[in-house]
Amino acid sequence: MEKDPITTEEMRILELNAQYLGVTHSMLMQNAGREVARIVTKTSKVENKHIAILCGLGGNGGDGIVAARYLDEAGAYVDVYLLGDEKAIRNKDALLNWEILNNLHEILISELPTESAVKSCRAIKEADILIDGIMGFGLRSKLREPLLTAVKMINKSTATKYSIDIPSGIDSETGVVHGVAVKADHTIALHAPKIGMTKAKEFVGKLHVVSIGIPKEAKYNCGLGDLQPFKQLRDLHSKKGDFGRVLVVGGSDVYSGAPALAGMAALRTGVDLVSVLAPEPVVSAIRSYSPNLMVTSLGTQILLPETVESVIEHAKNNHVVALGPGLGLEQQTKVAVTSIVEQLVKLETPLVLDADGLKAMASSELKLNPVLTVMTPHWGELSILMDEDLGDDTSLRNRVDQAVACAKKFNSTILLKGSVDVIAEPNGRFKLNRTGTSAMTVGGTGDVLTGIVAALLATDESAFYAAAAAAFISGVAGEMAFDERGDHIVATDCIENIHRVFDM
């Protein structure tokens, strides 16, 4: 349970990550309904009182339906009104609990599918206590009938009014009232207040924050919820490039595979276009990996300071730059990398820094942008970046502390790779990713991760969200490859399983 307000997206991530940990949506609904009833019985006399619960067709309505059983047990006379047709209940757990009420005889249940049905409902006018389970978090538009009339009738009533999670009609993100909203005497926030409520306090009444059983680890461990911001539905009128253009700057006179793997991983993650800018000796080799990559030569044997302006011009035609895979460690390359990073930061271009690009940053004093930049070191690279002995690399607490310290030093989001990945921000926020397998020690999997991060950054989500989701995706794709090939996987096997992770 959290006291600080959270966003709609954060709440969705928490619920899904709780489910990933085994706490089902049904469990959360049962807990929510019980807690709603507990607050009502704690703050109002309910025995022999008439309670009317108005329920929508989603999870918020399901919470109200569950609460009805507990309030009935507490001695109240309970009526439950479904604002719509029971056949239209879209939440399977809400439907299950509605069917339970069908088996009970002491709780009156009715459907109010129309505006006129709501207006003719005497119980709404005569109840001692009204419970608003109409709409939960996530409302983005004006209430439609019969919900609109139900809210208006609740507000006209002299009953004591309770809202579940957030008063119906309030945008949980912005606090905007969409036409009309329930003016509650009490609001029972589930797990945490929603941030929109802080901007519409006059509707909230007395705020009660209750626990619904979301484990603390759901906040700190990556799970399916972290994918949610990146599961975009593509509009029928979408055109090429709408879902991201990524520029990979990598390769040297020796290395060709790294930038190709990063580019292919970005494409498999869902980005529309990937360009690779590479030194002349490896251009043909990178082109041969896949016709899906658009490969351009830097015109030099390695990345040099004189190619910086060319890189920046290419970057301006892309949404994200992935810099570092296979670049090599020549001194002139390091100088070029530092210059490129400095200009990309000024241009506010989202950036992933990996491999040799990281090492080039070690001696710089550049400050990045933690909302737009992800650095992806392993422990050895982190030591180089921090220029000191970091101590025990097997201590998870130490790994978290050092990742946060590096995030502060460079003002960047850090994705510290390892058996447990650590994603850290300069403000101290961190997440842990426990997906993956030891078979992923094979070369190239780090480049795959770089490509995934770059693709997710192209969605305009923050670097922290992109890094957390990318770590999860990379690890699960590796687990899927391991299930197929055991300890004999290669990096391309991971790439070919990326799409399956999004189907989970």
- Given a cut of 80, whether residue 302 has pLDDT beyond it is yes
Determine contact, residues 341/333, Cβ cutoff 8 Å: no
- β-bridge pairing 430-433 and 273-278: unpaired
| Segment 141-153, tens digit of pLDDT | 788 999 999 999 9
Q: How far apart are CA 244 and CA 232, in angstroms?
A: 12
Paired residues of 170 in beta bridges: 177
CA–chain centroid gap for 404, Å, is 20
- Given a cut of 70, whether residue 306 has pLDDT beyond it is yes
Q: DSSP code of 272?
A: S
Determine contact, residues 498/473, Cβ cutoff 8 Å: yes
pLDDT at 223: 97
Q: DSSP code of 320?
A: E
Which of 503, 460, 496 lies closest to 478 in space, CA to CA?
Answer: 496
Percentage of the chain modeled with pLDDT above 70 = 100
Residue type at 46?
V
Q: DSSP code of 194?
A: B
Phi, psi of 83 (to 5 degrees): -85, 75
| Segment 371-411, tens digit of pLDDT | 999 999 999 999 999 999 999 999 999 999 999 999 999 99
| Segment 32-64, tens digit of pLDDT | 999 999 999 999 999 999 999 999 999 999 999
pLDDT at 233: 79
- The number of C-alpha atoms within 13 Å of 52 and in the hemisphere containing its C-beta is 25
- Given a cut of 90, whether residue 341 has pLDDT beyond it is yes
H helical segments located in 103-255: 115-119, 122-126, 147-156, 201-204, 217-220
3-state SS string for 86-97:
HHHCCCHHHHHH
| Residues 335-351, mean pLDDT to the nearest whole number | 97
Paired residues of 62 in beta bridges: none
> Scanning the structure block, which residue is given the tokens 């000191």?
388
Determine contact, residues 272/240, Cβ cutoff 8 Å: yes
| Segment 153-184, tens digit of pLDDT | 999 999 999 999 999 999 989 889 988 999 99
Paired residues of 81 in beta bridges: 54, 110
pLDDT at 296: 96
Q: What domains can be seen in the chain, in order of their start residue?
A: 8-220 (3.40.50.10260), 234-502 (3.40.1190.20)
| Segment 115-128, tens digit of pLDDT | 999 999 999 999 99
pLDDT at 363: 81
Q: How far apart are CA 252 and CA 259, in angstroms?
A: 10
- Given a cut of 80, whether residue 232 has pLDDT beyond it is no
Q: How far apart are CA 500 and CA 504, in angstroms?
A: 7
pLDDT at 264: 98
Give the burial class of 346: count Cβ atoms within 10 A of its Cβ; 0-12 exposed, 13-18 middle, 19 or more buried: exposed
Q: Average pLDDT of the chain?
A: 95
CA–chain centroid gap for 480, Å, is 22
| Segment 434-486, tens digit of pLDDT | 999 999 999 999 999 999 999 999 998 999 999 999 999 999 999 999 999 99
Q: How does residue 1 score in pLDDT terms, banded at 50, 70 and 90?
A: low
Q: How far apart are CA 60 and CA 133, in angstroms?
A: 5
pLDDT at 234: 81
Paired residues of 247 in beta bridges: 275, 321
Q: How does residue 254 score in pLDDT terms, banded at 50, 70 and 90?
A: confident
pLDDT at 235: 81
Q: How far apart are CA 271 and CA 281, in angstroms?
A: 27
Q: How far is CA 321 from CA 23, 153, 206, 353, 413, in A?
A: 38, 54, 48, 9, 15
Q: How far apart are CA 56 and CA 90, in angstroms?
A: 10
